[in-house]
C-alpha cells in the first residue's frame, strides 16, 4: 500500500458492505424501502418482495474475515421483526484490497481502490 492510499474507515467499510448487499437484493427482485448506514442501527435494510417484508442486517469485515451476526443484535432484530410481520435475513460481507501484493496489504481496503468482495448471499435467521 502506498502512503497516498487512505484505508477505509470502519464506517466506510460497513457502507461498502451495505452497497454490495443492496445491489444483490435489487438484482434479485427485492424492492428496497429504506437503507440505514449507521453501524449502531439495525436492521440496515428494509425491503419487500412478493408482498413479504424483510429486515436485513449487514456486517462487513476486512480480509480474511467475514461479517458476523452477533446473538444480541439478532435477538433485538427478531423481536422488532415479529411486531412487524417481517422475515429476518443476514448478509455477511468480506472485503479485501484487490491491489494488495501481500496478505497484509489485502487486509487494508483503501478509499477509491479496487476490492475483492466475498458475499455468499442472504441467510435467514430465526434465533
Domains of the chain and CATH, by start: 10-110 (3.40.1350.10)
pLDDT band for position 4 (cuts 50, 70, 90): low
What digits encode the pLDDT tens for the residues 13-25? 999 999 999 999 9
Contacts of the segment 122-125: beta carbons below 8 A, 24+ positions apart? 122/21, 122/24, 122/25, 122/56, 122/89, 122/90, 122/91, 123/89, 123/90, 123/91, 123/92, 124/87, 124/88, 124/89, 124/90, 125/57, 125/69, 125/74, 125/78, 125/88, 125/89, 125/90
pTM, rounded to two decimals:
0.93
Amino acid at each position: 500500500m502506498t502512503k497516498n492510499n487512505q484505508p477505509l474507515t470502519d464506517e466506510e467499510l460497513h457502507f461498502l458492505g451495505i452497497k454490495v448487499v443492496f445491489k444483490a437484493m435489487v438484482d434479485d427482485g427485492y424492492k428496497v424501502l429504506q437503507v440505514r448506514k449507521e453501524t449502531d442501527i439495525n436492521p440496515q435494510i428494509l425491503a419487500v418482495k412478493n408482498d413479504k417484508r424483510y429486515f436485513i442486517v449487514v456486517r462487513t469485515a476486512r480480509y480474511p474475515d467475514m461479517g458476523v451476526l452477533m446473538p444480541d443484535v439478532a435477538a433485538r432484530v427478531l423481536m422488532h421483526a415479529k411486531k412487524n410481520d417481517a422475515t429476518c435475513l443476514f448478509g455477511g460481507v468480506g472485503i479485501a484490497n484487490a491491489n494488495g501484493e501481500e496478505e497484509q496489504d489485502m487486509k487494508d481496503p483503501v478509499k477509491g481502490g479496487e476490492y475483492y468482495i466475498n458475499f455468499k448471499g442472504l441467510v435467514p435467521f430465526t434465533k
